[in-house]
Amino acid sequence: MMAMMKLAVLVLVCAAVAQTRADAPEAASSESAEDNVVLEKKGLISRALWTFFGGRRFRYFSSPKTWDEAENFCRSIGANLASVKNSLENTKLLSLINQQKANYTPTWIGGSDAQKNGVWFWSDGSKYQYTNWCPKEPNNGRGQQHCLQMSYTKKRCWDDLECRERRPFICAMSRWRIPRWRIPG
């Protein structure tokens, strides 16, 4: 009986919200566009869309971005590009890529040596210990490869790549946190 009452209240609230939105005039202001971005980002952080393991949450995004664009996107939803702490996490992330794309597409993660060549760090600030570099990598090809992609070649190892290249990416958050966006209304 209590469940039915809760369901009825939920339906009424949803109907009221839908009616309010239907009655709202179309606005072309930048504030309205900003509100839409807030609502879209709220959908992106739904717990159901993230994979939990090792005390962190991970999500694969198939829309190709440069490394910087991907990191900024992850930060905008309260995360960072994924760091990899051990071989189990590496395997789980490869599995996540394969589940989403049905193949092992090269994908950005949070490693970079852009500040000092040869000194790699994770964008989330965690300690850079585990690696899975492909043979003869990182090689800083043409002196411009400063960002880390995983799932490279059939060996599914890591490669340094020019940060301006566009790749899908994996965001990670260390605990469940909802970013502080301005709530419309």
Which of 54-63, 99-108, 124-133, 139-148 bottoms out in mean pLDDT, i.e. has the lowest? 99-108
Cα 112 from Cα 158, distance rounded (Å): 12
* Residues 18-34 pLDDT 10s: 333 333 333 333 334 44
Nearest one of 100, 92, 126, 96 to 111, comparing CA atoms: 126
Using a 10 angstrom Cβ sphere, with 0-12 exposed, 13-18 middle and 19 or more buried, the burial of residue 75 is middle
CATH architecture of 51-174: Roll (3.10)
Q: Any idea where the domains of the chain sit in the sequence? A: 51-174
Residue 132: predicted pLDDT: 97
Residue 180: predicted pLDDT: 52
Contact 171, 75 (CB under 8 A): no
Nearest one of 115, 158, 161, 121 to 142, comparing CA atoms: 161
**DSSP state, residue 123:** T
The mean pLDDT value for 107-134 works out to: 96
| Torsion angle of C-alpha atoms 112, 116, 117, 121, degrees rounded to 10 | -30
The SS3 assignment for 79 reads coil
For residues 171 and 32, which has the higher predicted lDDT (pLDDT)? 171
Which of 32-46, 110-124, 127-141 bottoms out in mean pLDDT, i.e. has the lowest? 32-46
Residue 41: pLDDT band (50, 70, 90) is: low
Which of 51-55, 86-90, 102-106, 176-180 bottoms out in mean pLDDT, i.e. has the lowest? 176-180
The SS3 assignment for 11 reads helix
